Structure 1
Amino acid sequence: MAVQRLRVTVSDGRAPQEFDAAALRAGVVIGRGDGAVIPDVLIDDGKAHVSRQHAELRLVGDEVQLVHRSSSQPTVLNGQPLTQGSPAVTLRDGDKISITSFQLQIQILRAPPPPAPAPAPPPAPAPKQVPAQATGGTIRLSAPSTQAAAGDAQRRPIIWPVAQPGPSQYLALLPIIFQVGERSDAPGFLARYLKIFEEIWEPLEQRQDYIDAWFHPATCPEPFLDLLARWLGIEFLPGTPLERRRGILVHAPTLHEQRGTQAGLLLAIKAYTGLQNEVKIDQTGNPHTFRVQVPRSSGVSEDWLAAIIELYKPAHVGYYLELF
């Protein structure tokens, strides 16, 4: 079955990242990156133990392969270290990759098999005929109405199940006198009543414990990214992919610090487009004018590049955009 998506879950508590088949064919880079390179899966222990491009996930045919790139630290797959020069290894669903202190869980999502044809419905039962006492003829009896049965089901009350069976853990926090008579196999009124508050408060407590993950670009939930971007003063262009938006927010402090400079514009173009060494910026013979050169083979549209330049260039400066 063909690979549809690959899900990577990092052990630091961030939201899982997913990559489609097109991204896997181009190569999914794992590393810490730097000012010029934005890896697809960002891991950084702050000690430079993780290489800028430590490893790569690539789709070859119908197989996902792991390629080790680092020359200093190994990549460990299911306890087996891969070092420089190791051949590419085919991954299986559930494999675990270790890079320094980071653990990465791999899930390979394949296309489901075609559904089996539905069995033919059984023939409808023949209508029963009952002798009529009054006329001596027959009375035709039809099957019960399915619409009436559905209506009865809709009128039944819905009882929401308890998320976790058993009494509330809050019961153990009360004085012992309130726990007398409560059983784990048949919780009483107080245990069930406390369960209501437990189901409301425990998710909120868990969210508070991990609130810092909401404010990091790599772990921020996708619906919260636009709000985080507004807080950081970053404007996304329409159609910017999810992982690239995360990369832009990672570079937000540097983009603001270098805004209006050649280095800042170069970083912005690379962050928004995913291009690296293909972008060139140089001066022209005219004052207050510069030239941006991007290869046409990069696939980035001229309108997209112009929108990025307008966002990050000084207002009084003109430019030439060349796709060669």
Structure 2
Amino acid sequence: MLPESYRAGDFADRFIAGFDDTLAPLIETLDCLEAYFGPRTAPADFLAWTLRWTGTDLPAAVGTTGRRNALLLGRRLHGLRGTQAGLELLAHAVLEATVEVAESGGTVRGRWPQECPRADEGAARPAHPWADVHLVLSPAASERCGGRTGDVEALVRDWLPAGVTSRVRVSLGGPAASAAPASPEDVV
């Protein structure tokens, strides 16, 4: 589409080739833009950026599959935050772990509910609601964690209800080895 005078010689071809080299990555990115916003197809670095949009701060023990699941579950996962179901969903779909929770039953308007289980009928009820959480990471998550479980413990504490006294224990490997990590297709 260039005038005849510009098509004579190779200068115009070399000049235009410079624009091709410079603009090709930009045009390729724009052609694939919808893939960047899909949790199943986004590049790993873009996943981290998108998770920051949702306020989801995940530790290094969470792999790419877990990060994709966190984006796919988005509103559902955050809507269950502070519940046992939410903690179990976070553990299974995002952390590639199994979780065991023992809890006091919570409070209703500052009083203990009548059906609250007691270890001993004569024992006094605890002053505050409590939860004992034991998380067992899969071998792959354990390897990514590198033996440092503090970030995972902090994430689990952040997902517990406010005002609940908790003890969080994280084990590496073990019983979760038989459980395969959830894929995005299994979660949705």
Does the C-alpha gap of structure 1 residues 298 and 239 become closer, same or farther in structure 2, counting only changes over 3 Å?
closer
Residue 234 of structure 1 deviates from its aligned partner by 0.7
CA distance in 1, matches of 2:72, 2:134: 25
Give deviations 1:77-112, integer Å, cap 9, x for gaps. Answer: xxxxxxxxxxxxxxxxxxxxxxxxxxxxxxxxxxxx
TM-score, normalised with respect to structure 2: 0.60
CA distance in 1, matches of 2:46, 2:78: 21
1:315 paired with 2:135, answer: no
1:279 is paired with a residue of what secondary structure?
strand
TM-score, normalised with respect to structure 1: 0.38
Does the C-alpha gap of structure 1 residues 316 and 201 become closer, same or farther in structure 2, counting only changes over 3 Å?
same
1:217 is paired with a residue of what secondary structure?
coil
CA distance in 2, matches of 1:235, 1:226: 9
Q: Which has the larger radius of gyration?
A: 1
CA distance in 1, matches of 2:153, 2:7: 73
1:290 is paired with a residue of what secondary structure?
strand
CA distance in 1, matches of 2:79, 2:2: 55
Residue 210 of structure 1 deviates from its aligned partner by 0.8
* Greater fraction of residues in helix: 2
Residue 190 of structure 1 deviates from its aligned partner by 1.4
Does the C-alpha gap of structure 1 residues 255 and 178 become closer, same or farther in structure 2, counting only changes over 3 Å?
farther
What stretches of structure 2 of length at least 5 have no aligned partner? 105-116, 118-125, 176-188
User: Counterpart in 2 of 1:255?
Assistant: 77
User: Counterpart in 2 of 1:288?
Assistant: 129
Does the C-alpha gap of structure 1 residues 307 and 217 become closer, same or farther in structure 2, counting only changes over 3 Å?
same
CA distance in 2, matches of 1:202, 1:238: 33
User: Counterpart in 2 of 1:9?
Assistant: none
User: Counterpart in 1 of 2:153?
Assistant: 306
User: Counterpart in 2 of 1:205?
Assistant: 27
Asked whether the equivalents of residues 103 and 131 of structure 2 are also in contact (C-alpha less than 8 Å), the reply is yes
User: Counterpart in 1 of 2:183?
Assistant: none
User: Counterpart in 1 of 2:2?
Assistant: 174
1:259 is paired with a residue of what secondary structure?
coil
CA distance in 1, matches of 2:16, 2:152: 58
Deviates more, 1:218-227 or 1:205-214: 218-227
User: Counterpart in 2 of 1:216?
Assistant: 38
CA distance in 2, matches of 1:207, 1:305: 34
User: Counterpart in 2 of 1:270?
Assistant: 92
What stretches of structure 1 of length at least 5 have no aligned partner? 1-172, 183-187
Residue 291 of structure 1 deviates from its aligned partner by 3.3
Count of aligned pairs: 143
Residue 312 of structure 1 deviates from its aligned partner by 1.0
User: Counterpart in 2 of 1:194?
Assistant: 16
* Greater fraction of residues in strand: 1
The one-letter code matched in structure 1 to 2:103 is Q
The one-letter code matched in structure 1 to 2:154 is A
CA distance in 2, matches of 1:229, 1:294: 23
CA distance in 2, matches of 1:305, 1:180: 63
CA distance in 2, matches of 1:217, 1:283: 34
After TM superposition, list the pairs within 5 Å mapping 1:229-248 onto structure 2: 229-248=51-70
1:291 is paired with a residue of what secondary structure?
strand
2:56 is paired with a residue of what secondary structure?
coil
2:163 is paired with a residue of what secondary structure?
coil
Asked whether the equivalents of residues 81 and 87 of structure 2 are also in contact (C-alpha less than 8 Å), the reply is yes
CA distance in 1, matches of 2:7, 2:168: 79
Does the C-alpha gap of structure 1 residues 305 and 223 become closer, same or farther in structure 2, counting only changes over 3 Å?
closer
User: Counterpart in 1 of 2:180?
Assistant: none
CA distance in 2, matches of 1:305, 1:227: 20
% of aligned pairs identical?
A: 27
Asked whether the equivalents of residues 61 and 152 of structure 2 are also in contact (C-alpha less than 8 Å), the reply is no
Asked whether the equivalents of residues 65 and 94 of structure 2 are also in contact (C-alpha less than 8 Å), the reply is no
CA RMSD of aligned residues (A): 3.1
